[in-house]
């Protein structure tokens, strides 16, 4: 199969050696878990189905809401609900309603409803199970999977792409899953193919993960699922970049991948779909890479949703005196954290304890209009123009300049020789533009 590549992008040091060869280890369930009653958007909470003092079982649904863009939340332990209160959330600096559960150590599971023969199930039945088990995209965005797998009836999907690129530096959660449990990914891919009604499925993996490529090729033998090695370049894990690299299709401005006949899913999400449909297990745990020079024992850790960052950092022996910045996710698109007392959520792919020298906190200099940010932009946009308009508060002009096509990958800031905080200005511009759009 041909590799087409995509415009722009950068080549940061991948820093994956820290945990690439570290087998995934299990973090013992904590004494308390803190389950946020939200999913992809902190502004859309779900309603609690439990109250203080209730006994809950592992895998039990403890929150739900009506609406297409919502999924339920489940308890990751068995125990007692001690509090339902507003607590810090690791995304957007939000404070959200949270169910605080004391673990009884019994590991007593709720009854798990599974699909006996998914091959004979209808699309609607499988989508209902995926929603009921709380499956969202675990690559970071946590978009409800049942919505993504149900495009409008007038849209024709011919190809499923599985994203195994994991292009962010440091992170190895997807890599380890492809090495440790490739069968779950393949079986999940089969289920997604059934739902979408497509014959063609391709798993894209960057060539800095040769062992994962070999592992997935072996697991995919005889299934018709293709494994596509990709030349390593950031941000190849972006949906539009992955589609361009593998299929040479260009998603139009303002459109979704379905506009060119494609649905993209993360490899970890495919594995979660398999566990939900075949074994009845809701999404209550995930693999998290803990890395950075402030980490004495970097690890890939299978951890329960609701575990505090502080417990994960203690497990990996983080030196707080050396830790200059704590980042949720990767260093390019990740979110700096102001507290360790926030919980692991379904989109927590990594936790980086970075030293000062790793953060590259160089002095910002005046822009020299060199154009390197434009060359690096994988969307073919003009980051400098966005920054200029934002600094001048000319927010109305950001829309015609296609600001909303920006994927906030950080390639522009990485390439900037003047160390301008381009993404910060772009995010501010997006916020202001959306406020204007909401008033119309």
Per-residue pLDDT averaged across 314-318, rounded?
A: 98
Q: pLDDT tens digit string along 221-233?
A: 999 999 999 999 9
Q: pLDDT tens digit string along 98-115?
A: 999 999 999 999 999 899
Whether residue 169 is found in the same domain as residue 52: no
Residue 366 is assigned to a structural domain of this protein = no
Whether residue 139 is found in the same domain as residue 265: yes
Whether residue 122 is found in the same domain as residue 235: yes
* Predicted local distance difference test score (pLDDT) of residue 314: 98
Whether residue 154 is found in the same domain as residue 221: yes
Residue 12 is assigned to a structural domain of this protein = no
CATH label of the domain that carries residue 249:
3.40.50.11540
Q: pLDDT tens digit string along 145-177?
A: 999 999 998 999 999 999 999 999 999 999 999
CATH label of the domain that carries residue 41:
3.10.20.600
230, 264, 279: which is the final residue of a domain? 279
Whether residue 134 is found in the same domain as residue 207: yes
Q: What integer best gives the mean pLDDT of the chain?
A: 94
Whether residue 330 is found in the same domain as residue 348: yes
279, 299, 324: which is the final residue of a domain? 279
Q: Which long-range contacts (CB under 8 A, 24 or more apart) does 401-407 make?
A: 402/253, 403/429, 403/430, 403/433, 404/254, 404/430, 404/433, 405/253, 405/254, 405/379, 405/381, 406/379, 406/381, 406/430, 407/235, 407/238, 407/240, 407/378, 407/379
Residue 21 is assigned to a structural domain of this protein = no
Residue 288 is assigned to a structural domain of this protein = yes
Whether residue 300 is found in the same domain as residue 257: no
Residue 2 is assigned to a structural domain of this protein = no
24 pLDDT exceeds 70? yes
Residue 13 is assigned to a structural domain of this protein = no
Residue 9 is assigned to a structural domain of this protein = no
* Predicted local distance difference test score (pLDDT) of residue 268: 96
* Predicted local distance difference test score (pLDDT) of residue 244: 96
* Predicted local distance difference test score (pLDDT) of residue 42: 65
* Predicted local distance difference test score (pLDDT) of residue 439: 81
* Predicted local distance difference test score (pLDDT) of residue 40: 61
Whether residue 105 is found in the same domain as residue 138: no
Whether residue 123 is found in the same domain as residue 270: yes
Nearest to 423 by CA among 357, 375, 377: 377
Of 228 and 44, the structure prediction assigns the larger pLDDT to: 228
313, 335, 358: which is the final residue of a domain? 358
* Predicted local distance difference test score (pLDDT) of residue 41: 66
Q: pLDDT tens digit string along 166-205?
A: 999 999 999 999 999 999 999 999 999 999 999 999 999 9
Number of separate domains in the chain: 3
Residue 48 is assigned to a structural domain of this protein = yes
43 pLDDT exceeds 70? no
Whether residue 184 is found in the same domain as residue 204: yes
**At 68, is the pLDDT very low, low, confident or very high (cuts 50, 70, 90)?**
confident
* Predicted local distance difference test score (pLDDT) of residue 1: 54
Whether residue 94 is found in the same domain as residue 183: no
Per-residue pLDDT averaged across 239-252, rounded?
A: 96
* Predicted local distance difference test score (pLDDT) of residue 2: 60
Q: pLDDT tens digit string along 317-372?
A: 999 999 999 999 999 999 999 999 999 999 999 999 999 988 876 788 999 999 99
Whether residue 94 is found in the same domain as residue 128: no
**At 38, is the pLDDT very low, low, confident or very high (cuts 50, 70, 90)?**
confident
* Predicted local distance difference test score (pLDDT) of residue 273: 98
Q: Which range marks the domain in which residue 414 is found?
A: 372-439
């Amino acid at each position: 199969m041909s590799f087409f590549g995509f415009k722009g992008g950068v080549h940061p040091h991948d820093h994956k050696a820290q945990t690439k060869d570290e087998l995934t280890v299990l973090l013992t369930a904590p004494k308390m878990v803190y389950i946020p009653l939200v999913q992809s958007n902190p502004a859309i909470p779900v309603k609690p189905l439990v109250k203080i003092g209730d006994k809950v079982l592992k895998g039990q649904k403890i929150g739900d809401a009506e609406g297409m863009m919502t999924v339920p939340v489940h308890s990751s332990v068995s125990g007692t609900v001690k509090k339902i209160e507003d607590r810090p959330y690791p995304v957007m600096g939000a404070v959200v309603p949270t169910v605080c559960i004391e673990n009884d150590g019994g590991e007593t599971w709720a009854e798990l409803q599974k699909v006996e023969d998914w091959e004979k199930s209808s699309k609607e039945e499988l989508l209902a199970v995926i929603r009921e088990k709380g499956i969202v995209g675990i690559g970071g965005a946590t978009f409800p999977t049942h919505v993504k797998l149900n495009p409008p009836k007038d849209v024709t999907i011919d190809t499923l792409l599985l994203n195994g690129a994991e292009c962010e530096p440091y992170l190895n959660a997807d890599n380890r899953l492809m090495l440790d449990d490739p069968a779950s990914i393949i079986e999940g891919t089969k289920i997604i193919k059934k739902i979408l009604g497509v014959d063609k499925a391709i798993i894209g993996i960057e060539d800095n993960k040769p062992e994962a490529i070999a592992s997935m090729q072996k697991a995919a033998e005889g299934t018709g699922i293709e494994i596509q090695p990709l030349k390593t370049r950031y941000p190849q894990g972006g949906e539009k970049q992955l589609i361009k690299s593998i299929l040479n299709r260009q998603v139009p401005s303002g459109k979704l991948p379905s506009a060119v006949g494609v649905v993209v899913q993360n490899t970890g999400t495919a594995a979660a779909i398999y566990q939900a449909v075949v074994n009845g297990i809701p999404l209550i745990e995930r693999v998290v890479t803990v890395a950075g020079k402030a980490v004495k024992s970097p690890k890939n850790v299978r951890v329960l949703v609701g575990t505090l960052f502080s417990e994960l950092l203690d497990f990996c022996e983080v030196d707080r005196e050396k830790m200059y910045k704590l980042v949720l996710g990767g260093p390019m698109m990740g979110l700096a954290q102001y507290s360790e007392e926030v919980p692991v959520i379904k989109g927590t792919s990594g936790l980086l304890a970075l030293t000062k020298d790793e953060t590259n906190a160089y002095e910002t200099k005046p822009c020299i209009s060199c154009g390197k940010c434009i060359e690096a932009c994988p969307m073919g946009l003009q980051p400098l123009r966005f920054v200029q308009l934002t600094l001048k508060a000319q927010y109305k002009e950001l829309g015609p300049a296609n600001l909303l096509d920006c994927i906030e990958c950080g390639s522009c800031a990485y390439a900037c020789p003047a160390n301008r905080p381009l993404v910060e200005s772009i995010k501010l511009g997006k916020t202001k533009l959306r406020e204007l759009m909401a008033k119309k």
